[in-house]
Structure 1
Amino acid sequence: MNVDSLALLANVLGFIGAALMLASYMMKGMMPLRIAALCACVFLVGYGALKHALPTLLLYGLLVPINIKKTLAMRKMVKAIERARDDAPVSQWLLPHMHRRTVKAGEILWRRGDEAKEMLYLESGSLRLVEYDEILIEGALVGEIGLFAHDHCRTLTLAAASDCVLYGMTGEEMALLYYENPKLGFHVMRLVVGRLISDVSKARAAMQTN
């Protein structure tokens, strides 16, 4: 190929890459976004190579494997949600996408009035809802209502009654999961409604006792 043909090809690759990159910022679905960003990087690597633009070549060359990794991770996450049974516990849907951590007995996880930033799944140990003096045991999912409340405010203080192994998920991570697979939203809403019904029952029981 002569110089003019190479220059034309470089410009075509550059324009296609730029268009795909712009399109990725306008997409709503995470999977299409990742695929568009990956394709954009490939075209822009070609542009950088033909134009001998080393900074462009290095930047998008590094972004290609990063985008491949993120695209594969997103695909794995979506497939895991789709494979989950409809009647499975919500924790089974969420656990593969949550982050594990440990806490010591007596540690305060959040206080009443704090901003709700995450929901927790209790794998082992026990937690205590301080104001109710209620103990939560293994398998409990807690903190999800605060993520959906209009003020994102904690209504109760949560403390570790013993050493615990927890799995957490932030509100942003939950939103991404829901956005990518709306079926998850039904199961989360089922959980929230069940929790609200339980809280109403407790409130009625307390009023009858008083």
Structure 2
Amino acid sequence: MPTLSLFDTAMTALTTALATPMGIVALCSAGVAGMLVIVSSFVKTMIPLRCLAIGGNLGFLIYGALHPSLILVLLHGALLPINIFRAAQMVRLTRRVRVAAATSDFSGVWLRPYMRRRRLRKDAILFRKGDEAKRLYFLAEGQIEFVEIGQTMEAGRLFGEIAFFAPDKRRTLTARCATPCTVLQMDESTFKTLYFQNPAFGFEVVTLVAGRLIADRQRLEDRLAATTPAT
């Protein structure tokens, strides 16, 4: 019977592998790697998934080297550095956002690697009051004027994020380039990708936005207190 022949072949290969310490190590490595792959199918967030993938790559690399398989060595040798890089990238981003939230750093510098550059001429309108907020922005160079309130923002600041997270997602001010500007922008799909890959990122960003709102409210209260005559 073909089934019995296949079973006998598999048992012979297994017995041969278990006959040497190197074969035992190879099989154990493959077994652990296989378990990690199975566990990874139940993981919903990116950092644990990448860590499990790294473990699986190492296990199959060891198996491919000790139980010679060039295809396994090449495949997992190529995947290992990619998974390490992506895991480190997400951990670094989470750490940067956490530090920014803890120190009340509202500049948004930590988002720059994930944003697209856009150059604008003087007097160009970035968005108008009432527009749908589809992006958040970082001003890399130049000055942005918020027309309705007559305030100008210098480079090195994150802006447009309040409407980006607001329920109606509508701009409350018009942003005009007071000088030639270089603006970095992130759209909603990119933000959602980062969020679903690493929910800790989204939580820390929400914390940061809440801190921004509280700081803005405090500045408004201080301004009203300074302009209100004492009784």
TM-score (norm 2): 0.61
The counterpart of 2:84, out of the listed 64, 68, 71, is 68
Counterpart residue type for residue 145 of structure 1: I
Partners of 1:198 and 1:83 lie apart in 2 by 23
Instruction: Say whether 1:172 aligns with 2:192.
Output: yes
Q: Is the 2:47–2:198 contact (alpha carbons within 8 Å) kept by the matching residues of 1?
A: no
Q: Which residue of 1 aligns with 2:5?
A: none
Corresponding position of 1:142: 159
Alignment partner of 1:88 is 2:104: yes
Judged with a 3 Å threshold, the aligned counterparts in structure 2 of structure 1 residues 145 and 61 are, in CA distance, closer, same or farther, namely: same
Alpha-carbon offset, residue 43 of structure 1: 0.9
- Secondary structure of 1:98's counterpart equals helix
Unpaired segments of 5 or more residues in structure 1? 200-210
Does residue 119 in structure 1 map to residue 133 in structure 2?
Answer: no
CA distance in 1, matches of 2:90, 2:16: 41
Query: What is the rounded CA distance, in whole Å, between the counterparts of 1:115 and 1:150 in structure 2?
Result: 10
Contact 2:136 2:160 in 1 (8 A): yes
> Is the contact made by 2:143 and 2:177 (CA closer than 8 Å) also made in structure 1?
yes
Conservation of the 8 A alpha-carbon contact between 2:100 and 2:208: no
In 2, the alpha carbon distance for the partners of 1:109 and 1:41 equals: 46
State whether residues 118 and 185 of structure 2, in contact with CA within 8 Å, keep that contact through their aligned partners in structure 1.
no
Amino acid at match of 2:191: G
| Aligned counterpart, 1:202 | none
Which residue in the other structure is 1:40 paired with? 56
Q: For 1:123-202, list aligned pairs within 5 A.
A: 123-129=140-146, 132=148, 134-138=150-154, 139-150=156-167, 158-169=175-186, 170-172=190-192, 175=195, 179-180=200-201, 182-192=203-213
CA RMSD between the two structures: 3.9
Percent sequence identity is 26
What displacement does 1:137 show? 1.2
| Pairwise CA distance, 1:34 | 2.6
Quickly say closer, same or farther: Cα 1:172–1:180, change in 2 above 3 A.
same
Distance in 2 of aligned mates of 1:43 and 1:34: 14
- What 5-or-longer segments of structure 2 have no aligned partner? 1-14, 221-231
Q: CA deviation at 1:108?
A: 4.8
Q: Which moved more, 1:155-164 or 1:65-74?
A: 155-164
Aligned 8 A contact 2:120 2:180 in 1: yes
Structure 2 counterpart of 1:18, from 34, 59, 66: 34
* TM-score, normalised via structure 1 length: 0.66
Give 1:42 deviation, angstroms. Answer: 0.8
Instruction: Decide whether the 8 Å contact of 1:102 with 1:163 is kept in 2.
Output: no
Q: Name the CA distance, whole Å, in 2 between partners of 1:198 and 1:177.
A: 32
